[in-house]
Amino acid sequence: MLDFKNKTIAEIVSDDISTASVFKKYNLDFCCGGGKTVENACIKANINVDEVISDLHSNPSKNDVPELNFKNWNVDFLIDYIVNVHHTYVKDNLSIILEFSTKVASVHGHNAPETIEIDRLFTTLANELTAHLKKEETILFPAIKTKLKDNSYEYDKNVIAILEDEHDSAGTIVKKIQELSNNFTPPEWACNTFKALYFKLDEFINDLYQHIHLENNILFPKVK
Ligand SMILES: [Fe+2]
Ligand SMILES: [Fe+2]
């Protein structure tokens, strides 16, 4: 039986990406705060560690997620995957979610004031992410690829620390949205746009967690 308790959350998710859904269920951060062991993270969050471990062993979503062994991919391929899958997803979805969040805040803000704050937070996240993706695509990723071809090439590794800080900032915003939306649960009276907003936010944030996990826990350690 695997010793989940003393492994870090980042290690467990890196070994099996499908376990991400278990950590998300308990609101345990696997992308930015993934350096803690499961036991320490549970103690800090006041969560029963045995329940989490038991969920990790049964891991109901295991069969829904294709087994992609990101850890063994070469860096070049991993970068292309991150850009083609996750950066494309962000770019394709920001404007539609912003449209929903602005509409819901203006129509339902008086009954559900949290939607005004969610709209404000998501607007900030969208602006931050747009600048962040550009930095990765125009500065860091091309520098890593050049280094792979020419080992004598050097680039400023500080950019990685800056990008990690930006991941932390995105993680903080995302957690606030998750709390304000009651884990993406619309009120009973919610209209279809309201429901669509929470559905898309949930999907967007799942994608972002996996995206940041791939960068913080798999890509960056390979190139630091
Ligand atoms: Fe990225
Ligand atoms: Fe990033």
For the residues 25-52, what does the mean pLDDT come to? 88
Instruction: Read off the DSSP letter of residue 204.
Output: H
Burial 86-121 (b: 16+ CB within 10 A, else e): bbebbeebbeebeebbbbbbeebeeebebbbbbbeb
At 1 the pLDDT is 43
Q: Is 77 found in the same domain as 60?
A: no
Instruction: Read off the DSSP letter of residue 30.
Output: S
CA of 167 relative to ligand 2 center, distance in Å: 6
> pLDDT per residue over 124-175, tens digit each?
999 999 999 999 999 999 999 999 999 999 999 999 999 999 999 999 999 9
Residue 75, token pair as written in the block: 């860096």
Residue 199, token pair as written in the block: 């559905």
In angstroms, the CA 13 to CA 214 distance is 10
> pLDDT per residue over 102-119, tens digit each?
999 999 999 999 999 999
Q: Is 57 found in the same domain as 95?
A: no
* Nearest-ligand number for the alpha carbon of 163: 2
Q: Is 121 found in the same domain as 27?
A: no
Q: Is 59 found in the same domain as 120?
A: no
Q: Is 95 found in the same domain as 15?
A: no
Counted domains in the chain: 2
CA of 211 relative to ligand 2 center, distance in Å: 7
Percentages (nearest 5) of helix, strand, coil residues in the chain: 75, 0, 25
Cβ atoms 61, 18 nearer than 8 A: yes
Q: Is 133 found in the same domain as 32?
A: no
* Nearest-ligand number for the alpha carbon of 167: 2
Q: Is 137 found in the same domain as 161?
A: yes
At 203 the pLDDT is 94
Is 4 among the domain residues? no
CA of 140 relative to ligand 1 center, distance in Å: 10
Is 3 among the domain residues? no
Mean residue pLDDT across the chain:
92
Is 193 among the domain residues? yes
Q: Is 188 found in the same domain as 156?
A: yes
Q: Is 90 found in the same domain as 18?
A: no
- Domain end, chosen from 28, 45, 64, is at 64
Cβ atoms 121, 176 nearer than 8 A: yes
Q: Is 145 found in the same domain as 52?
A: no
In angstroms, the CA 30 to CA 210 distance is 9
Q: In terms of residue numbers, what domain contains 117?
A: 73-223
Q: Is 104 found in the same domain as 31?
A: no
Is 27 among the domain residues? yes
Is 1 among the domain residues? no
At 182 the pLDDT is 96
CA of 84 relative to ligand 2 center, distance in Å: 13
- Domain end, chosen from 45, 64, 83, is at 64
What are the φ/ψ torsions at residue 3 (nearest 5 degrees)?
A: -90, 85
| CB under 5 Å of ion ligand 2: residues | 215
* Nearest-ligand number for the alpha carbon of 82: 1
Confidence category of residue 64, pLDDT binned at 50, 70, 90: low
Q: Is 93 found in the same domain as 41?
A: no
In angstroms, the CA 9 to CA 36 distance is 6
Is 84 among the domain residues? yes
CA of 138 relative to ligand 2 center, distance in Å: 12
Residue 206, token pair as written in the block: 């799942």
Is 217 among the domain residues? yes
Is 57 among the domain residues? yes
Name the pTM for this structure.
Answer: 0.85
